[in-house]
Amino acid sequence: MQQSVRRYIRRVTRTRSGGVIVLGVLMLFAVGFLLERNTMNANYSELLSIIAEGESKGNYNAYFGHAGNTSIDFTNMTVGEVLQWQHDFVAGGQPSNAVGKYQFIRPTLEGLVNELGVGRDGLFDEALQDRLAIHLLERRGVREYVRGHITREQFAHNLSMEWAALPRVIGRNPGASYYDGDGLNKAQVSIDVVLAAIDSLRATTSV
């Protein structure tokens, strides 16, 4: 998509000039960028589902030790309220404050909302949780994987460092959580399931 846009721009700018053309060029760049991101995001669902199944059984209102939680509605809390809840939960003696469908711990959640410019008065709802998880995929190299710059095994390894429910794929003790032995975490998903989801992502995505 971006290569096609660049070729069009070069052809147009060789033959025309003026503010209207410049505006058109900028619009084409914007459309190309948005189409790429939409294509990528639309194909994250299988991998996100695998991650969420291991982390929370797919529950947007899960929290550490309570994957089936229905009593606390985090999706109707603001980001600021969730961060405060996480602080209070650990202050009360709990070993982890992981929360939501993708089990964000407080430092990760706080870093993400700051990085993305998410207001603390915004809801920690389903859409925001998915958006934050996608950003973590991007941090861990999903675009590099799709473009063929890293192997599926390296990408899977990167993901296991982000989500403790995913298994190590390379290095020592494959199949176990990257954080195995900490007394809190263990892998909940098999290597084959993770790699199949990663393969599907690359097969259905073009950038």
- Beta-sheet strands, E only, within the chain: none
Whole-number average pLDDT of the chain: 85
For the chain, which ranges sit under pLDDT 70? 1-42, 203-207
Decide: 185 and 179 in contact? Cβ < 8 Å.
Answer: yes
pLDDT, position 70:
98
Burial of 117 (0-12, 13-18, 19+ CB in 10 A): exposed
Helix (H, G, I), strand (E, B) or coil at 139: helix
Q: Which two tokens stand for residue 194?
A: 């993770």
The rounded percent of the chain whose pLDDT value lies above 70 is 77
Amino acid identity for residue 6 in this structure: R
Residue 127 three-state SS: helix
pTM of the full structure: 0.79
The position carrying tokens 């390296």 is 154
Find, among 39, 61, 67, 93, the residue nearest to 202 by Cα.
39
Fold of 45-203: Lysozyme (1.10.530)
The structure tokens 């290569």 sit at 3
Domain ranges of the chain: 1-42, 45-203
Return the closest-CA partner of residue 169 out of 142, 145, 193. Answer: 193
Q: How far is the C-alpha of 34 from the C-alpha of 207, rounded, in Å? A: 12
